[in-house]
């Protein structure tokens, strides 16, 4: 019988000195005065894993409200896609806000993008497959121009108000 030897883990002193750059710059979860409202805000670096982090945070927030699997699936998808759009187009830190209020989950991504981007070609066909999918899943969505960039947002209705 052959015995395998695994290398010992790296000493703590060496690990502590290694440079670690967090992917999420800040994180804040809040509960409003209305006990049913919950919100999370997170600043993300424009990295390839940012959409995954957004999906994880959306899943975590939805679990706090015990939403149906269908609503959780839609919110998680929207959060990941909006962050992916921002990462692909802007390459700068972005803010993700997810709010559950009354019977609506709203996902907002604020980035430093220079206004609107082309959403469709002259014949009306969407140029972004992500936006087409978000249109199908969300009850409402849009792009707002702000002083310092743009805000992509989408809302999902749940409960009795859901279609």
The full set of domain ranges for the chain reads 22-161
Write the CA distances from 82 to 30, 45, 106, integer angstroms: 22, 14, 12
Other residues' Cβ atoms within 10 Å of the Cβ of residue 80: 20
3-state secondary structure of 120: strand
How far is residue 2 CA from its own chain's centroid?
48
- Taking CB atoms within 8 Å and a gap of at least 24, the contacts of 66-75 are 67/100, 67/105, 67/158, 68/158, 71/105, 71/156, 71/158, 71/162, 74/137, 74/138, 74/156, 75/105, 75/107, 75/156
| Spatial CA neighbour of 99 closest among 14, 19, 36 | 36
**pLDDT at residue 140, rounded to an integer:** 94
Percent pLDDT > 70 in the chain is 66
Question: Residue 115: pLDDT band by 50, 70, 90 thresholds?
Answer: low
| Fold (CATH) for 22-161 | Heat Shock Protein 90 (3.30.565)
**pLDDT at residue 54, rounded to an integer:** 97
Dihedral sign (CA 97, 98, 99, 103): positive
- Whether the pLDDT of residue 44 is over 90: the answer is yes
3-state secondary structure of 54: helix
**What pTM was estimated for this model as a whole?**
0.73
Distance between CA 28 and CA 1 in Å, rounded? Answer: 53
Specify the higher pLDDT residue, 28 or 91: 91
């Amino acid at each position: 019988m052959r015995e395998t030897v695994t290398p010992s883990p790296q000493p703590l002193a060496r690990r502590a000195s290694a440079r670690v750059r967090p992917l999420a710059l800040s994180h804040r979860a809040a509960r409003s005065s209305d006990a049913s409202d919950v919100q999370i805000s997170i600043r993300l670096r424009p990295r390839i894993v940012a959409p995954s982090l957004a999906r994880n945070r959306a899943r975590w927030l939805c679990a706090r409200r015990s939403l149906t699997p269908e609503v959780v699936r839609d919110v998680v998808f929207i959060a990941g896609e909006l962050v992916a759009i921002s990462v692909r187009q802007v390459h700068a830190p972005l803010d993700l806000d997810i709010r559950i209020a009354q019977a609506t989950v709203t996902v907002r991504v604020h980035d430093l993008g220079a206004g609107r981007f082309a959403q469709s070609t002259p014949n009306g066909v969407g140029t972004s497959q992500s936006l087409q999918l978000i249109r199908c899943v969300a009850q409402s969505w849009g792009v707002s121009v702000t002083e310092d960039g743009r805000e992509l947002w989408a809302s999902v209705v749940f409960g009795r108000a859901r279609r």
